[in-house]
């Protein structure tokens, strides 16, 4: 088997929400496999510039664009600009997302809409113009970043779980409609990862830290680098006949029930 199946040389990959966290880890993996990165964010140009500089320091060719994935006109204009300045988009990673930690009975309609607009509708808005170009050129790859909440409910994140559950089905619907055009659409479902956001609950002695470690067959939190291989596989020729699949990178949590180490 040729390792070229996992190379992305000459490919351009647009990763939304890739200025930090797990999006940055997946983007870095694509860049290390040879892809030219196009980094999206919506908070500030300064944050995008810092991320681009970080990628370049790692020897990865990268550029950044500021726009909101929920704004259809801004997305359309940005895709046109990207393809004029960088080149056709071969890989789209729909990673941009928000979460609202509020019980459903206390959640405002505005907060609900913000989560669903970003995490579900934003994927639809972002994919339309990109995939039209892919189809015209004969193919491409779309990777939607799902979640374990695509399969499981969890207290106080109802809007997020609803959006990510919908994203799983949107992934399958996209695969159904676009597979005939040689566009493969798959998802990645991260488990619990060691990031700056989870640092406070990963301290020794914290109940949630102990619960995650005991609940995960791998016996640890995921490292962001654990997502690189999944992203590269789904972006590369190795996955040309993989379509409509969600690859859960969770250390085995979804495979089991109870506390594996006590079995």
- Please give the positions annotated as active site: 160
Are the C-beta atoms of 41 and 69 separated by less than 8 Å?
Answer: no
Look at residues 57, 59, 63 and name the one whose alpha carbon lies nearest to residue 78: 63
Radius of gyration of the chain (CA): 18
The whole-angstrom separation of Cα 135 and Cα 124 is: 16
What element of type H or E holds 14? strand 12-15
- Apex 26 CA angle, 23 and 30, nearest 5: 135
Handedness of CA 84, 85, 90, 92 (dihedral sign): negative
DSSP 238: G
- Residue 254, Cα to own-chain centre: how many angstroms? 19
The whole-angstrom separation of Cα 207 and Cα 248 is: 24
């Amino acid at each position: 088997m040729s390792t070229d199946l996992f190379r992305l040389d000459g490919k351009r990959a647009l990763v939304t929400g890739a200025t930090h966290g797990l999006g940055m880890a997946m983007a870095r993996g694509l860049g290390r496999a040879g892809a030219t990165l196009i980094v999206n964010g919506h908070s500030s140009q300064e944050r995008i510039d810092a991320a681009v500089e970080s990628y370049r320091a790692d020897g990865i060719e990268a550029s950044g664009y500021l726009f909101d994935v929920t704004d259809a006109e801004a997305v359309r204009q940005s895709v046109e600009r990207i393809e004029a300045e960088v080149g056709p988009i071969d890989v789209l990673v729909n990673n941009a997302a928000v979460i609202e930690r509020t019980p459903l009975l206390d959640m405002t309609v505005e907060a609900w809409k913000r989560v669903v607009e970003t995490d579900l509708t934003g994927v639809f808005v972002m994919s339309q113009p990109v995939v039209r170009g892919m189809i015209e050129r004969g193919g491409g790859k779309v990777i939607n970043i799902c979640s374990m909440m695509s399969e499981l409910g969890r207290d106080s994140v109802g809007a997020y779980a609803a959006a990510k559950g919908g994203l799983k089905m949107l992934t399958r619907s996209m695969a159904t409609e676009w597979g005939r055009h040689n566009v493969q659409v798959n998802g990645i479902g991260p488990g619990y990862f060691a990031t700056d956001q989870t640092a406070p609950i990963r301290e020794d002695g914290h109940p949630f830290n102990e619960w995650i470690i005991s609940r995960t067959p791998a016996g640890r939190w995921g490292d962001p680098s654990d997502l690189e291989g999944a992203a590269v596989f789904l972006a590369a020729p190795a996955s040309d006949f993989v379509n409509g699949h969600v690859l859960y990178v969770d250390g085995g949590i979804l495979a089991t029930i109870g506390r594996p180490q006590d079995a």
